[in-house]
Structure 1
Amino acid sequence: MALNAVLGVDIGTSSSKGVLVALDGTVLRSAVREHVVDRPAPGQVEMDAAVWWEEFVSLSRELTTGAEADVVAVGLSGMGPCVLLTDADDTPLRPAVLYGVDTRSVEQIARLNEELGAEEIRRRCGSELSSQAAGAKVAWIADEEPELFARARRLYMASSWLVRKLTGAYVLDHHSASQATPLYDTEARRWYAPWADRIAPGIELPPLRWSGEAAGTVTAEAARSTGLPHGIPVITGTVDAWAEALSVGAHRPGDLMLMYGTTMFLVHTVRGLLTHPALWSTVGALPDTRNLAGGMATSGAVTGWLRELFGNPGYPELLRLAEDSGPGANGLLMLPYFAGERTPVMDPLARGVIAGLTLSHTRGDLYRAALEATAYAVRHNIEVLEKAGGDIRRVVAVGGGTQGGLWTRIVSDVTGRPQELRATSIGACYGGALLAAQLVTDASIDAWNPLRETVTPHPEATARYDELYGLYRDLYPASAEVAHALAARQNR
């Protein structure tokens, strides 16, 4: 007799991942499809939505064909917030504009702050306008591509586009909407019509649901394409980092999730509405939850860049070399702002810096410096989270960067905080699978994904990193003017 199972798929920045999971949480199969984003101009990061659907279909086919399991529900998540505009026939009008790694909307942010009031935006929406704000990117398309924008009728993100293709439903989850600043009222938990009508005229904004609610069921056409059973439910889905937090049980007040991926993301669950100009305040993926969140523009993207420069050695080899380098990377210090920086710097024109280079430095030193730079940025974000009123009681790590052990150990040493690692660290696709399972059973993440180990800081290393962290904090203001001048040259 075949098992009942759920399918979870996440559309990420550098890959799409899928899992087939039994209703007790056992991973039966997993698969990955790697892809690259498009960078048509400095500061612009896009992706063709056709790739999202093609990779979903491919993953679904691979994971279900020949499996001794009956898929009974589908879970989804995706990078976000993104802006995918379609016409009235749901034909995409242009590639999707991606989340905060895309920094094109600087002028629109300045204009909207002046027209609507920066403080009023933060009061109503929970966050200030930044490169993360989807609403500002809608405004960019309206300004820069007016003929195209005049044909726009609907707004999608990665997960909601898959929902549309699978079920025909036009919906978006509350959490994703709360990152569409300034279109969403975070206290009222609905679209804010006066600003939506002003910024997105003619666009029918999607009805809102919670991430784990059923958006609809798989249509006959989608069933033929994907191999999934006709009529099974599909969740509404959410942004990948929030699904990732659910995948490791980091969704209770006091929890902080660290997502080690192409970018580093931090999601702190709080009891009430908290705001800070250098963070994002959002509604949570689950009803009656709220979050303070932060995100770096690069983390794993920098280590991947270094790996490519080094001739693509294996990551185990690079980790071994970084281990040999030791704390402090033999006097190297890096700012990981290779694509600008999101929180808490909020500077799209920031740039990467490697300070202290000599002819004696090695690949291991550079790789170690990149890992340490991410850890310093995590500490910076944590300090601002707590300054904003956050109460961090537990840190849970997840994502591909947790493999190998060195990166998580460096982060614990730099921050002085232990990190929990769960048995399964597949990430957002597993969180989506959990939400799908909860449509048909009483699945819980503690039963699905128990604690595997706790990474604890080493006091001697922490003391050494305290001094280096001070130098890290000094390096950005000391180099920002030069970085901005160089960024201006790059953007010409």
Structure 2
Amino acid sequence: MADLVIGIDIGTGSTKGVLADSQGNVIHSEVVRHETSFPRPGWAEHDADDTWWADVVAICRRLTTLAKGDVAGLCISGIGPVFQAADERGQALRPAILYGVDTRSAAEIDELTERYGSDKVLEVCGNHMTSQSVGPKIEWVKRNEPEVWERTRRFLMAHTYCVFHLTGEYVLDHLSASMCEPLYSPFTNDWVEEWVEDICGDLPMPTLKWSNEVAGHITDNAARITGLRPGTPVSVGSIDAFVEALSVGVSQPGQVMLMYGSTMVAVQISDKALVAPSLWSNAGLLAGTSNVSGGMSTTGSLTTWVADLTGKDYDELSQLAAESTPGCNGLLMLPYFSGERSPIADPNARGVLAGLNLTHSHGDIYRSTLEATGYGSRHLLDSIKESGGEASEYWAVGGGTTGGLWPQIMSDIIGIKQYIPKVTIGASYGDALMAAMTAGLVDVGTTWNSAEREVEPNLDNHEIYSEMYRLYLDLYPATADISHRLADIQAR
């Protein structure tokens, strides 16, 4: 059998792994579920050993036992950007502080922005600091947990935590680093030394590499634990959403990926770094590429919330939502249940369900969550266009694309055609492709995926939704002050 590769993606609620050959054929896949901790409102954490490392070990052991041939390479992606404080041996010193859904560092964002200057941060980093940024999360640990900070000698993310324990190498990919505002500049593809020194002090920064480069090789100890051969090359890896874009061939300027998951992420490839005040201006996965992107904080998690409240499963709720009408009979939701990332960057925003009356049903409410995702995504894509990103093609990925209703609502609201790929495994498939690149089994420009179907917009529905979208844009500023006051009460 041809040389094999393993790709593993560490998600918010589970870790997924695939064993694939060099042609992109999936031999086997594995899923391990884990818990996310929400110890306080606005906080979101993972235990790195019980989730990231334990999952990666379990998946590697399972897939290596199934491999009928050599495993030539491994690549890991994960949620991010996150901050995992670790000691010199890479041992976690506290639970990892997750990406933009963890909004604890709001005060630090404001203080660092005032210290360095909003315009200067935008000029250097391409975007402002938000709840997504790692710099303020580090500052929060320094101020609130000085005993942890004093012992911190490694700054790791989900993928690099595992890479460190597999190889002993302390690395970070350029793309992940570019989400560590204000520590990195996508215009120079390097650390911003002055601000690194101010925020991180004597904390050593990881070595920067591109995502498909070799981070290191499996050590003898890691081989005994995982079942992989000693010396197997391990890719640097990156953040899940961007690797998922690669999994469907989104790698050329103008191509856009929309990721339907617990959160919604839009990634648009560009040929240069852009200034995007309300978005994320990032380095790319591969040398010579950049991204402009953004993410909503709660999308698929809203559907789970409604399912839990009503006691109905997704199939029943989807059927009821399909029986509702575009606009949910005059019902409009703001999906900011965990604050919001892009483009409003407001960690204290809260969810709003406007227009309720006694005739509204479970189907109306469930449909309103799907439509809220569409309005938020349209807001996000409009902001990308305003930053200079010209979109030419949209690929939809993630678990939310398996049913017909949600993608159709998205196309109708935004007014776009979406391509649904044949292989919908997700970022782990992109990881397998990068592992093959790193191992020299395929060229850097290789694409394994293709479209299975297309979702065309219904123009009549688009007209209805455009009216609702204008109301959506008005609803946030009209309710923001009250939402902020309620967020203060929730934080007590």
Q: Do both share a fold (TM > 0.5)?
A: yes
8 Å Cα contact 2:278-2:342 kept in structure 1: yes
Query: What residue identity is the alignment partner of 1:146?
Result: P
User: How far is 1:67 from its partner?
Assistant: 3.8
8 Å Cα contact 2:268-2:391 kept in structure 1: yes
**Inter-partner Cα distance in structure 2 for 1:123 and 1:444:** 31
1:40-83 residue CA offsets vs partner (Å, 9 max, x unmatched): 21111111110200011111222232343431110110000000
The answer for the alignment partner of 1:79 in structure 2 is 79
Query: What residue identity is the alignment partner of 1:364?
Result: G
8 Å Cα contact 2:271-2:288 kept in structure 1: no
8 Å Cα contact 1:409-1:455 kept in structure 2: yes
1:232-274 residue CA offsets vs partner (Å, 9 max, x unmatched): 1110000001101100111211111101111000111122221
8 Å Cα contact 1:23-1:443 kept in structure 2: no
The answer for the alignment partner of 1:279 in structure 2 is 279
Give the SS at the match of 2:70: strand
**Inter-partner Cα distance in structure 2 for 1:424 and 1:442:** 18
1:486 aligns with 2:486: yes
1:129 aligns with 2:129: yes
Give the SS at the match of 2:63: helix
**Inter-partner Cα distance in structure 1 for 2:315 and 2:26:** 24
User: How far is 1:445 from its partner?
Assistant: 7.3
**Inter-partner Cα distance in structure 2 for 1:7 and 1:442:** 14
1:293 aligns with 2:289: no
The answer for the alignment partner of 1:384 in structure 2 is 383
The answer for the alignment partner of 2:213 in structure 1 is 213
8 Å Cα contact 1:249-1:445 kept in structure 2: no
The answer for the alignment partner of 1:421 in structure 2 is 420
The answer for the alignment partner of 2:358 in structure 1 is 359
8 Å Cα contact 2:178-2:184 kept in structure 1: yes
Give the SS at the match of 1:343: coil
8 Å Cα contact 2:216-2:233 kept in structure 1: yes
1:24 aligns with 2:11: no
The structure 1 segments of at least 4 consecutive aligned residues displaced by more than 4 Å after TM superposition are 443-447
User: How far is 1:89 from its partner?
Assistant: 2.6
Matches of residues 313-332 of structure 1 in structure 2 within 5 Å?
Answer: 313-332=312-331
Give the SS at the match of 1:65: helix
**Inter-partner Cα distance in structure 2 for 1:445 and 1:304:** 37
**Inter-partner Cα distance in structure 1 for 2:301 and 2:449:** 27
1:185 aligns with 2:185: yes
**Inter-partner Cα distance in structure 2 for 1:270 and 1:55:** 33
**Inter-partner Cα distance in structure 1 for 2:25 and 2:36:** 32
- Range with bigger deviation, 223-232 or 49-58: 223-232
8 Å Cα contact 1:322-1:364 kept in structure 2: yes
1:102 aligns with 2:102: yes
User: How far is 1:3 from its partner?
Assistant: 4.0
Using structure 2 for the length normalisation, give the TM-score: 0.97
**Inter-partner Cα distance in structure 2 for 1:66 and 1:189:** 39
User: How far is 1:202 from its partner?
Assistant: 2.1
User: How far is 1:88 from its partner?
Assistant: 2.1
8 Å Cα contact 1:297-1:340 kept in structure 2: yes
User: How far is 1:446 from its partner?
Assistant: 6.4
Give the SS at the match of 1:123: helix
1:88 aligns with 2:81: no
Give the SS at the match of 1:150: helix
The answer for the alignment partner of 1:40 in structure 2 is 39
8 Å Cα contact 2:90-2:165 kept in structure 1: no
8 Å Cα contact 1:248-1:445 kept in structure 2: no
**Inter-partner Cα distance in structure 2 for 1:231 and 1:109:** 42
Query: What residue identity is the alignment partner of 1:48?
Result: D
8 Å Cα contact 2:249-2:447 kept in structure 1: no
1:99-150 residue CA offsets vs partner (Å, 9 max, x unmatched): 1111111111111111111111111111211101001100010011112111
Give the SS at the match of 1:203: coil
Give the SS at the match of 1:172: strand
- Aligned positions, number: 490
The answer for the alignment partner of 1:234 in structure 2 is 234
- CA 1:446–1:316: 2 relative to 1, 3 Å: farther
Query: What residue identity is the alignment partner of 1:79?
Result: I
Gaps of 5+ in 2: none
The answer for the alignment partner of 2:457 in structure 1 is 457
**Inter-partner Cα distance in structure 2 for 1:15 and 1:113:** 34
8 Å Cα contact 1:371-1:410 kept in structure 2: yes
- CA 1:355–1:255: 2 relative to 1, 3 Å: same
Identity %: 47
